[in-house]
Amino acid sequence: MFSLQYNSPLGIITIVEQNSKVVEICFGKKYTSELINTPTPLLETAAKQLDEYFAGKRKYFNLPIEPKGTNFQLKVWNELLRIEYGMTKSYKDIATAIDNPKACRAVGQAIHNNPIAIVIPCHRVVGSNGELTGYAAGIDIKKGLIALENS
């Protein structure tokens, strides 16, 4: 697996590629023995698209992604991809959209485990009352991403 450390306005982001697909985008530096810190063409494309996103010029990502998770998690993450730039949905909205309206907590867990932040926009999910709720990278980063999309 190859990785690239990307300096975003909200802090360092690690982008990970495996088999010519983006498999992880996470806030913070990530070091494991499996990762080779080498910029590949795909990682450079991902960084360029993140640059455009943070500059307010990109609303949709065009990257080959392959998140790793359970069938339920994949279903939730695919639904997150349907949330438009600058919009939000609640955990209940997501649970209902995947035909499992009582699975709000499970949806929350799947969102917490989203391996491809920003591209799979888990930051666009809020509480039923519209309040910002937890975010794996921290609520301040979630606020920053939502503010960026609403500016």
Active site residues per annotation:
122
Using a 10 angstrom Cβ sphere, with 0-12 exposed, 13-18 middle and 19 or more buried, the burial of residue 111 is buried
Q: Which two tokens stand for residue 124?
A: 């666009």
β-strands 125-126, 89-90 pairing:
parallel
Residue 12's SS3 state is strand
DSSP 23-80: EEEEES----TT-EE---HHHHHHHHHHHHHHTT--SS----B-----HHHHHHHHHH
Using a 10 angstrom Cβ sphere, with 0-12 exposed, 13-18 middle and 19 or more buried, the burial of residue 104 is middle
Residue 91 exposure: Cα atoms within 13 Å on the Cβ side: 20
